[in-house]
Structure 1
Amino acid sequence: MAKPEFEFFPVTDIDYTICPGDNPAVTERILARDPEANVATRILRYEPGADSSPMGVQKHDFWEEVYILEGSFTDITLGETFTAGMYACRPPGMPHGPWRTDEGVVTFEVRYHSR
């Protein structure tokens, strides 16, 4: 199965839900999902003060592209802060995070498997 077909719609029609890891300060708005491949397109939101340290460094078996729409967050492992307008493209297995943010951050993410 692939991600479903959608024509334009307001993303505000989709509620934010708590991300895996159960931190209520880290939520996602799933825009499209392929449940069989376990990939999605989403908007990710970290509330001000959020910290994903309990989840540790992340690695995925899929590609992940991330564009920061608003705010900023810091990759604790790298000691680097990334801000609105910045972009990342992570191949499968690339370590990243954990993250923390003082002001909050909103990102747009696309996850997929190359075929």
Structure 2
Amino acid sequence: MPSEKEHKEFHSVDMDGEGWHSPPGYPLEIEQKLLAGSLDEAHMTGSRTRLLRFKPGAYTTIAFVHDYWEEVYLISGDLIVGGADAQHQLSFFSHTYACRPPGVYHGPFRSETGCLLLEFHYYSDRSAP
């Protein structure tokens, strides 16, 4: 089996220049930068590490669900989780973390000041107990 991620030593990550783009299904104000790996959702294989950033005021409108594990670390800014009803929203700030197994609905999301997330997505080994 080939390695799921390539070997990369310490290197600078261009936070302002090339490599940022909106993931499919996301608004243009939300961008990702892939750091390592790739995720093949059609074949349920692989893993990826990415940065995801919300520009100030960016938001999604529906909840997400996917068939892979997701770990999210909020590096900076604010992230508001929940629908338009303020009574059902939760606000999170720098240095918060989430780990979601496959099949868990989460979101929608928005950020008032903008935020930067570090995300790990991966499929688990189906032969493991």
1:82 matched residue in structure 2: 92
Moved over 3 A (4+): none
Larger of the two Rg values belongs to structure = 2
Shift of the 114–41 alpha-carbon distance from structure 1 to 2, 3 Å rule, reads same
- Residue 19 (structure 1) shift: 1.6
Q: TM-score, normalised by structure 2?
A: 0.80
Distance 1:9 1:66 in 2: 22
Correspondence 1:32 to 2:36:
yes
Unaligned segments of structure 1, at least 5 residues? none
Between the aligned partners of 1:67 and 1:35, the Cα distance in structure 2 is 19
Change over 3 Å in CA distance of 1:20–1:86 after alignment to 2: same
Partners in 2 of 1:52 and 1:90 — Cα distance? 18
- Whether the aligned pair in 2 keeps the contact of 1:73 and 1:101 (CA below 8 Å) is yes
Q: Which residue of 2 aligns with 1:47?
A: 55
Shift in Å, 1:33: 2.4
Structure 2 residue corresponding to 1:63, chosen from 54, 69, 82: 69
Q: Distance in 2 between matches of 1:82 and 1:5?
A: 33
Which secondary structure state, in structure 1, belongs to the residue aligned with residue 99 of structure 2? strand
Per-residue deviation at 1:22?
Answer: 4.6
Shift of residue 108, structure 1, vs aligned partner: 0.4
- The correspondence for 2:101, drawn from 91, 99, 103, is 91
Choose from 102, 108, 111 the match for 1:101. 111
The secondary structure found in structure 1 opposite 2:31 is strand
Cross-structure match for 1:3 = 5
- Report if aligned partners of 1:74, 1:101 keep a CA contact under 8 Å in 2: yes
Give, in angstroms, the shift of residue 66 of structure 1.
0.5
CA offset digits 1:91-113 (Å, max 9, x no partner): 11111001011111100011111
Percent identical among aligned pairs is 35
RMSD: 1.7
Structure 1 residues 39 and 14 mapped into 2: Cα distance closer, same or farther (>3 Å)?
farther
